[in-house]
Amino acid sequence: MAPALRRINSLFLTLELCSRRNLSVAVSLRVASKGEKASQYAQGETHFGFETVKEEEKSSKVHKVFEEVAHNYDKMNDCMSFGIHRIWKDIFMQRLSPVYGTRLLDVGGGTGDIAFRYVKYLENSTASLDPNQAESHVTISDINKEMLDVGKTRASENGILTSAKRVNCSVDWLEADAEKLPLPDNNFTAYTIAFCIRNVTHPQKALEEAYRVLRPGGRFLCLEFSHVENEALRWLYDQYSFQVIPAMGQLVAGQWKPYQYLVESIRQFPAQEEFKEMIEAAGFRCVTYENLNFGVVAIHSGFKL
């Protein structure tokens, strides 16, 4: 057998063994009650995927993950979701339905996927209001400089800044922690966060910050991986997640561990009803959620009233 073929076979055997181990852990965690899940961490500890870490360590570990995947982020998203993530994000922007004059804060949006859709949505708007009569704005915030750098490059290459000028929309980039935003109170009319909040050490603090920076009447909108309710579909989803995605990350992006963390972090994130309660606890009202693709992802919405 050729050396290259032996190495590939060895890689897949290793990944299969690791995937089976982690799939077993995923099933064990799912059957635990919320109280049991909370009690597995000592004070000052949290999860990093299925690994228990000190709270102060999680931020740096997550930072390293996204530093490693930044330049392959779009390619891997397309591979893992077969391009469906683009549809999810389009639906997400349709649910926001921004108008001229919207002041949007997009948190964890370094590569610009949501912010660019916001600009394009305004550009394609059929509203009769002259955009020059109402200045729009978007602040793209991310804790990871590498992700922001990718977003800035994409904005330049895809003419986003030109489109933004056309609709009188200013664009800012901000390197910041979602739990400690260096922004004034009551400053934005909309807050979006897509595929990010599960990576935050204290999601409740991030929700409270979202509430703080929004103006009264402002809207919170979150797009995040969630929990598939149907048992048969959930089994298929687990098989794909743990046995295919990490191997795909290794073969396409040369990275296995970041994508192992990805699937583990999804299983650790609260289910739809539990996350709804967390959003309400932060002060939001009229809180709802909408499942997409049987709950693979969910859009959560709330208002600051």
Mean pLDDT by 10 residues, the chain (305 residues): 45 43 42 43 66 69 67 78 94 97 96 96 80 88 93 95 95 97 98 95 96 98 95 94 88 81 89 98 98 97 98
Return the structure tokens found at 34: 């919320």
Residue 243 lies in a domain: no
CB count in 10 Å sphere of residue 46: 17
In a domain, 238, yes or no: no
Nearest to 225 by CA among 249, 199, 204, 243: 199
d(CA 288, CA 299): 8
Judge whether 236 lies within some domain.
no
Residue 68, pLDDT score: 67
- Read off the CATH number of the domain in which 209 is found: 3.40.50.150
Q: Does 177 carry a binding-site annotation? A: yes
Q: Is residue 259 part of a domain?
A: no
pTM: 0.82
178 labelled as ligand-binding? yes
Residue pair 109/76 in contact by the 8 Å Cβ criterion: no
Q: Residue 286's domain spans which residues?
A: 83-225+271-304
Residue 188 in any domain: the answer is yes
The total of structural domains in the chain comes to 1
Q: Which helix (H) or strand (E) holds 174?
A: strand 169-175
179 within domain boundaries? yes
